[in-house]
Homo-oligomer: A and B are copies of this chain.
Amino acid sequence: MDVNEPAAAAPNSEETAWALRQLENIRESIDNVDAALIHLLAERFKFTQQVGRLKARHGLPAADLDREARQIKRLRGLAEEAHLDPEFAEKFLGFIVAEVIHHHVKIANDTGAIPTP
């Protein structure tokens, strides 16, 4: 409850009904954004799986710390421009990369390649 606006706390008031319609409308937009995010993530993992297969096939090192540092710097910059917390953007990349590593280990196991440490 919002202690500053006791009037709005009354359920079924016209104002509350308006707020609920607004809420429903914003949630539809969130659902649209989420569908786009899921499809972009699926596309991103297709690319990183290609990277994993390429690295396994050509004996390229699994990790590239320079590349990761450049990615972090770039995403933090993009986040700032978009008024998104750069800390969150960095955490997000870490979250994705953890899943990518999980995929790459699986590819290495499936192909019988020994992943470079």
Contacts and interface: CB of A to CB of B under 8 A. Distances in A.
User: How many chain copies?
Assistant: 2
Interface string A10-53: 00000110011011001101110111111111111101101100
A3 to B, nearest CB: 6
Contact of A84 (B42, B84, B92, B95): B42
Contact of A60 (B20, B58, B67, B95): B20
A63 interface: no
Interface of A: 1-5, 8-9, 15-16, 19-20, 22-23, 26-27, 29-31, 33-45, 47-48, 50-51, 54-60, 67, 71, 74-75, 78-79, 82-84, 88-89, 92-93, 95, 99, 111-114, 116
B37 A112 contact: no
Interface majority SS (helix, strand, loop, mixed), chain A = helix
A33 B38 contact: no
Nearest to A7: B59
A33 B27 contact: no
B33 A43 contact: yes
